[in-house]
Amino acid sequence: MSRFESPTTVPEALERAAHRFPERGIAVFDGRARHHERRTWPEVLDAARKAAGCWAAAGLGPGDRLVIAQSTSWEWLDGWLGAVWLGALPVAAAPGAGLGPAEAQVRKVEGVMERLEGRFALVSDVFRRSAQSLGALSVVERAITPDQLFGLAPDEVSPPRPQADDHAFLQLTSGSTGIPRAVQITHRGILHNARAIDQRIGEPQGGPTSEWADGIVSWLPLHHDMGLVGCVFVTMVAGIDLWLLQPTTFLARPQHWLRELGKRGRTYTHAPNFGYQLCVERLDPGDLDGLDLSSWSAAITGAEMIRPETVAAFVDKFGPLGFRPQCIRPSYGLAEATLGVTCDRAGEGLRTLPLPSELAEQAVDADLSEVASVGPPMADTEVRIVGTDGRTLADGRVGEVAVRGPGVFTGYWNDSAATAESLVSGELRTGDLGFLRDGELYLTGRTKDLLIVRGNNLMPHEIEWLAEKVTGGGGALRSGAFSVSHGTRGEEAVVVVETQERDDEKVELQRRDIRLEVSKGLGLVLADVVFVRRGRIPKTSSGKVQRRELRRMYLDGELA
């Protein structure tokens, strides 16, 4: 088979898209979704080659790591694709947005630069100045702005062609030390996953997406695997258009997403549950006068727990504008599998089973009563449910979700201990809990103490360290963070803190300081801060906080 038929590397896939779909491409919108700059795949290819030359002129070489912390833009795409073209390993981080200094983002980029020994950080001028004022030297010294990079006269480069099993990029995911871990993704992983997603999404429609869709409209950030692999690479292999909104535009004005979906022909989209929830909370059909959503053919939902209440509310609200309930396509994936593991194949909308009552305790959710099918595994991907002894469990029994397939990562960058925990003889242990029924996966919770708030993964000790900084704990005074969720709101973070302070006013000051530290450090609003007296937080004999038990005590009102 020629490389134009079944590309296994990013450069091949880009060349194939330019050759086969010369009219298709990507449009990137400005912050107000008023204007967009569209490039066809041949133009994307030219720009990537030129960017590779600019990177080489800047001193980047094959195998070098570089961090990209930029908002959605052509600079992001050119910088990323150019680096991959050159054989370097890009790793994308959130650029920070909103109010206040981007301290949390700067610290994260600083940690990643140090851990990966990054050669460059492609950042905006504002970001570089924030890094400077925060004394983040590893960022400042290696920062390069898009103007500097693309202002260089590009070197003539002809990098060696990557092999399918070479690493193409690194994907950040939350790690146990507060510094994100970098998931190593291969060229084969990306291209296989993109094709498998394209194929699965097309199944109920009777053919590949290019036969029934003109494009994807997405607001997902490009540092998110669902934005990068699920949107950029899926459109590249499928030969359809990509309409890219700024994530910030969507968060401020979600109507732009729906408007573009209604306007750009036959469209589909990927989003986490909270994206659909935001539309339900913020928009009324009245805000969307004249909009017709009947050409929206698939609404993939994934990256966090799928909430039946959200789906029902979305269908209720936007059904009158032409949105069809069967468009909802639940899916499941994670960075360690490149992206997709399963996706709904039936095309009948959300299908649920009642949560077996004996599971209520280990579910993530306080009041989860039904669980959504996230569909069967994608092509060439195997899912089994394993017990704590590693043996395969029978249909309907809950255990850890384990995955095998071409998309499974090769390990975390320079972290063999974490890799050994997640990869057991080539099989990915996801840390997610669920069961299989008739070949379809149902998720019920997690084995890890991970919190997923609005699509962002957090480890509990990231919150606990900040809380204990305020109470002066860490030794005798402990804290425990976990998530709870109610109805459509999704997971929210709660921290329980031990204090010896008896003065109510001083306790209130501590509460405010904890909220302040957590919001500054993690960009997170805590749903609740609960103070308890010293020794009240349950611990194991070795002194480890038992977060699961603490969470049960909180939900049962035992901490009040």
Partner 1 sequence: MDSTDAKKQALQIIADVAEKSASELQNEQNLLADLGIDSPKALKLLMDLEDGLNLEISDEDAARMETVGDILRFVGSAA
Q: Is 134 in the site for partner 1 (CB under 8 A)?
A: no
Which lies closer to partner 1 via its Cβ, residue 366 or residue 527?
A: 527
Q: Is 227 in the site for partner 1 (CB under 8 A)?
A: no
Which lies closer to partner 1 via its Cβ, residue 253 or residue 548?
A: 253
Which lies closer to partner 1 via its Cβ, residue 71 or residue 209?
A: 71
d(CA 118, CA 414): 13
Q: Is 252 in the site for partner 1 (CB under 8 A)?
A: yes
Per the CB < 8 A criterion, the answer to whether 422 and 428 are in contact is yes
Q: Amino acid identity of 479?
A: S
Which lies closer to partner 1 via its Cβ, residue 478 or residue 515?
A: 515
Listed in order, strand segments (DSSP E) in 137-244 are 143-144, 167-173, 181-186, 215-218, 241-244
Residue with tokens 């699509």: 455
Residues in contact with partner 1, shown as a per-residue x/- string from 169 to 188 under the rule CB under 8 A: --------------------
Q: Which stretch binds partner 1 (CB under 8 A): 164-172, 194-202, 409-417, 515-523?
A: 515-523
Pick the binder of partner 1 from 98, 354, 426, 543 (CB under 8 A).
98
Q: Which stretch binds partner 1 (CB under 8 A): 110-118, 159-167, 398-406, 516-524?
A: 516-524
Q: Is 248 in the site for partner 1 (CB under 8 A)?
A: yes
Q: Which stretch binds partner 1 (CB under 8 A): 98-106, 177-185, 237-245, 321-329?
A: 98-106
d(CA 18, CA 331): 29
Residues in contact with partner 1, shown as a per-residue x/- string from 423 to 462 under the rule CB under 8 A: -------------------------------x--------
Q: Amino acid identity of 343?
A: C
d(CA 542, CA 539): 8
d(CA 105, CA 113): 12
DSSP 5-69: TS--SHHHHHHHHHHH-TT-EEEEE-TTSS-EEEEEHHHHHHHHHHHHHHHHHHT--TT-EEEEE
379-408 positions binding partner 1, by CB under 8 A: none
Radius of gyration of the chain (CA): 23
Pick the binder of partner 1 from 50, 520, 539, 548 (CB under 8 A).
520
Residues in contact with partner 1, shown as a per-residue x/- string from 276 to 315 under the rule CB under 8 A: --x---x---------------------------------
CB of 100 to partner 1, least distance (A): 4
28-47 positions binding partner 1, by CB under 8 A: none
Q: Is 100 in the site for partner 1 (CB under 8 A)?
A: yes
Give the strand pairing for 528-533 and 491-499: parallel
CB of 282 to partner 1, least distance (A): 8
Per the CB < 8 A criterion, the answer to whether 243 and 235 are in contact is no
Residue 30, both tokens: 């400005």
Q: How many helices (H) and strands (E) does the chain have?
A: 18, 26
CB of 482 to partner 1, least distance (A): 19
Backbone dihedral angles phi then psi of residue 86, each to the nearest 5 degrees: -80, -15
Residue 151, both tokens: 């202002």
Backbone dihedral angles phi then psi of residue 349, each to the nearest 5 degrees: 90, -170
Q: Is 523 in the site for partner 1 (CB under 8 A)?
A: yes
Q: Which stretch binds partner 1 (CB under 8 A): 190-198, 231-239, 322-330, 513-521?
A: 513-521
Pick the binder of partner 1 from 516, 528, 535, 544 (CB under 8 A).
516
DSSP 344: -
Residues near partner 1 (CB under 8 A) are 97-102, 124, 126, 129-130, 248, 251-253, 278, 282, 454, 512, 515-516, 518-520, 523-525
